[in-house]
Structure 1
Amino acid sequence: MPSESDSKEVPESASSIKDLILEQEEAANLIKNRSLLEPNEIVAEDRIVGRDTQLTNITQHLRVAISNERPPNLFLYGPSGTGKSLIINAVCENILELCESRDIRFGVIQMNCQNIGTLGSALYELVRKVAEDIGVPVEIPEQGIPNKKKWRELYRLINEHYDTVVFILDELDMLVGRRDMDEPAFSRLLYQLSRAGSTNDITARVSVTAITNDTKMMENVGSRALSSFTPEDVHFSDYDANQLREILWARQDAFYENALSEDVVPLAAAFAAQTNGDARKGIDLLRTAGSLAERAGANQVQEQHIRKAQDKVEKNRVLEVTRGISTQKKLCLFATAAIAREAGTGAAKSPLGYQVYQYLTETLNVDQYHQETYVNKMKELTTYSLVETERKSQGPHSGSYLEFTFGENPATIIETLREDSRLDDAHDEELRAVVNAQLR
């Protein structure tokens, strides 16, 4: 039976936790509006910077929906964090409001394809999102039924509840599907959605917007899908440092007045400019730096907090990307990053990277692939914006090679990959010796 002293400890403990929460709330005196520091937050028009051309193009293409006409299909491509999702969502939100004022049933269904494995999973997710948008229960199971039934359910919901619907398929290139299929799942999805309006399956008007970081995605779209999809292309180039500063200044009111020192925004913009002009990274740096400063009890976010945030954000992004990739891709990335780290240039030549890859596979006693496979796996990693590739010549009689340039610090990539215990036997001193022998 608990003693009297024991019974008193519970409320005291609860009170102390509440006090701690209130103390932390009082100490959090730097960030005023955290939603403005969410990279995917749909922001007011005056906060959209450096994308006038893309905004105008997308608006011109989609505006016909307010006249009850079908908008064309769109293909938005460019590096990560360059405003693709931000612009299309902002335009669609405004079109939705205008359509509502004209009694036009306009819908926007957005799906991120990054973690969707098969065409069947994608179809179920689209049905689920449509059902959620119109406020009805999902009437089909996720598993155990053919895709034809999922298509029929999707068509039924669209026909009954929309005049026009825009499907926004973000990171579409990631929807590859089963490797034994001749045509990737994203190609089959584009074919079915874009041709549905020309058949009797759908009476509503359907428009498809494909978004990707992979500029070569359309090369993998089948001929039938290409013929029916025929999108209007909108390219999103990198933000430069000046545009990134404008973007971050446009969100400075997420903080209380004088909460940011003068050098914080320029430094965050400079770090983001180093990573393909990624605005998401700049915004994430501000948010992380603000949180670090609050936890430290600082009166202002300063340069030191941005630098600490840079280390943390880099590691988090690499961890997010590398967590789901295969062991072979990890080994290729690890070997190439080891070359770039020791070279001090952030870049590595493919022949040297392959030699270090051979050392790793022998040391760890895992399968070793040919150099062509190593190069192809590194090329695939460009999709994640970790590396960029450029073909270079060794001279008129010496052939050419690929050079891999890292968007993140190679040392951060190595440190993050080492969280996989399978790399424990690749000791750093020996690795550095092998790499330096190749560089000499």
Structure 2
Amino acid sequence: MLLEFDEQEGLIRDRSLIDPNHVVAEDRIVGRDRQLQEVTKMLRVALGDNRPPNLFLYGPSGTGKSLITKAVCKNISRICESRDIRFGTVEVNCQDIDTLGVGVYELACRAADEAGVEVEVPKHGVATKEKWDELFRIVNENFDSVVFVLDELDMLVGRRDKQEPAFSRLLYQLSRAGANDELTAYLSVVAISNDTKMMESVGSRALSSFTPEDVHFDDYDANQLQAILRRRRDAFHEDVLDDDVIPLAAAFAAQTHGDARKAIDLMRVAGELAERQGDERVREQHVRAAQDKVEKNRVLEVVRGISQQKKLCLYATAAVAEQTEDGTARSTTGYKVYQFLTESIDADQYHQETYVNKMKEMTTYSLVDFERRSHGPSSGMFLEFQFGERPATILETLREDSRIEVAASDEVQSVVTAQLRNET
């Protein structure tokens, strides 16, 4: 069977072009001319064997922050090599790093990989200072200039008993080492975050030593997303994409904050679905099927890792949003549904302030966003939540949790209807 499939000519010619994490050539980067120019101008000083400034790249997920950083560093590395300058890029995604010590060790490992050497301290059983010393040893011995790319840096919170988050302490140590005599190599940091307010949580000491240049990335619109996909259509064999495939994939991605990763993922999944079904072309129905699959996969990935209480808060709020015309949910209404939900499954019930805080935390997963609103003197202030994915998809996914499934969906729906009637 494997050989039979191997002999079939598929629809996809180059899968790397429809991999959202693949670093494409500069001529395939669309709609980010200003940001590409700014990052290039600031990092290019490494070509003269000088220290580039620290950067803070911020904006919604999938708007080109990581892509542009990687593309620019890749070009700098190629030119530096021809000039006998030892330039390195040490990239770490902080999403799955839980403490400062683990973060420093991960940086040491990535620096060692880049240099082709071994890390000489263990991951566990040594003080964080020893890990810092090892990181700086690797950098000093193997590089003239190095750029640390800290992706999703705001996710590195660390231990809750610390006065400032771990990402603040990481920035302080890296930027201070770059300014002092601990390093002979030039060191600069590119901090990347979806959270536009991340720098407000950085401690004063770290802020004064880090002092980054800011580069803002805004949402892609549907036209820009179409241009991005057209630059990658040669991932497919000639004349296998229907004309409406790219506009539809771009339109779906534009609905969720203009996420280019989602647009590229949609085109990839649509192509794979068409291949599996033995179709000769990628059509509109494949994109629509891919949209359902990508949405559900993304939500599944997120909700698997969140606590039971966050699931209950998210379910209650999504149940409200599903029944409103604009797909939004007031925090006051969501909390009433949350109360009913916790009572019906006999779960612990938190105060409204805790419910609101847990929903705010969900913004870090790009599932929801919120605005502070008031609909007149009689309504008071409340938060209005907007969902990045269809509320129905979130509800369907959450109901795969056996404890939430106990709550009858029609009863929850009735409570939502009654509460929405009370709003007016």
Point out where structure 1 has 5 or more consecutive residues left out of the alignment.
1-19
Please say if residues 119 and 134 of structure 2, whose CA atoms lie closer than 8 Å, have aligned partners that are also in contact.
no
When normalised by structure 2's length, the TM-score is: 0.98
Alignment map for 1:220-369 (pairs within 5 Å): 220-369=201-350
Deviation at 1:397, TM superposition (A): 4.7
Q: Distance in 1 between matches of 2:243 and 2:211?
A: 48
SS at match of 1:260: coil
When normalised by structure 1's length, the TM-score is: 0.94
Select which of 142, 167, 171 maps to 1:186: 167
Q: Quick one: which amino acid aligns to residue 361 of structure 1?
A: T
Please identify, of 303-312 and 393-402, the stretch whose mean Cα deviation from structure 2 is larger.
393-402
Please identify, of 365-374 and 328-337, the stretch whose mean Cα deviation from structure 2 is larger.
365-374
Q: Quick one: which amino acid aligns to residue 48 of structure 1?
A: I
Whether 1:392 aligns to 2:373 is yes
Percent identity for Structure 1 against Structure 2 = 67
Please identify, of 421-430 and 50-59, the stretch whose mean Cα deviation from structure 2 is larger.
421-430
Please say if residues 337 and 411 of structure 1, whose CA atoms lie closer than 8 Å, have aligned partners that are also in contact.
yes
- What is the aligned partner in structure 2 of residue 164 from structure 1? 145
Whether 1:126 aligns to 2:110 is no
- What is the aligned partner in structure 2 of residue 148 from structure 1? 129
SS at match of 1:395: coil
Select which of 362, 373, 376 maps to 2:357: 376
Please say if residues 50 and 239 of structure 1, whose CA atoms lie closer than 8 Å, have aligned partners that are also in contact.
yes
Please say if residues 73 and 229 of structure 1, whose CA atoms lie closer than 8 Å, have aligned partners that are also in contact.
yes
Query: Aligned-pair RMSD on alpha carbons?
Result: 1.0
Q: Distance in 2 between matches of 1:344 and 1:28?
A: 46
Q: Quick one: which amino acid aligns to residue 237 of structure 2?
A: Y
Please identify, of 35-44 and 133-142, the stretch whose mean Cα deviation from structure 2 is larger.
133-142
How many correspondences in the alignment?
421
Select which of 424, 428, 434 maps to 2:405: 424
SS at match of 1:156: helix
Q: Quick one: which amino acid aligns to residue 165 of structure 2?
A: P
Deviation at 1:124, TM superposition (A): 0.8
Deviation at 1:168, TM superposition (A): 0.1
- What is the aligned partner in structure 1 of residue 18 from structure 2? 37
Please identify, of 71-80 and 365-374, the stretch whose mean Cα deviation from structure 2 is larger.
365-374
Select which of 95, 115, 118 maps to 2:76: 95
- What is the aligned partner in structure 2 of residue 203 from structure 1? 184
Runs of 4+ aligned residues of structure 1 deviating over 4 Å after TM superposition are none
Deviations along 1:220-244, one digit per CA (max 9) or x if unpaired, are: 1111111111000000000000000
Q: Distance in 1 between matches of 2:242 and 2:8?
A: 18
Deviations along 1:288-315, one digit per CA (max 9) or x if unpaired, are: 0000001111010000000000000000
Deviation at 1:28, TM superposition (A): 4.9
Q: Distance in 2 between matches of 1:378 and 1:317?
A: 18
SS at match of 2:375: strand
Q: Quick one: which amino acid aligns to residue 33 of structure 1?
A: D
Deviations along 1:409-431, one digit per CA (max 9) or x if unpaired, are: 10100111122222121121111
Q: Distance in 2 between matches of 1:124 and 1:100?
A: 27
Q: Distance in 1 between matches of 2:417 and 2:4?
A: 52
Whether 1:110 aligns to 2:67 is no
Deviations along 1:185-225, one digit per CA (max 9) or x if unpaired, are: 00000000010022222111110000010111111111111
Q: Distance in 1 between matches of 2:78 and 2:347?
A: 57
Please say if residues 27 and 294 of structure 1, whose CA atoms lie closer than 8 Å, have aligned partners that are also in contact.
no
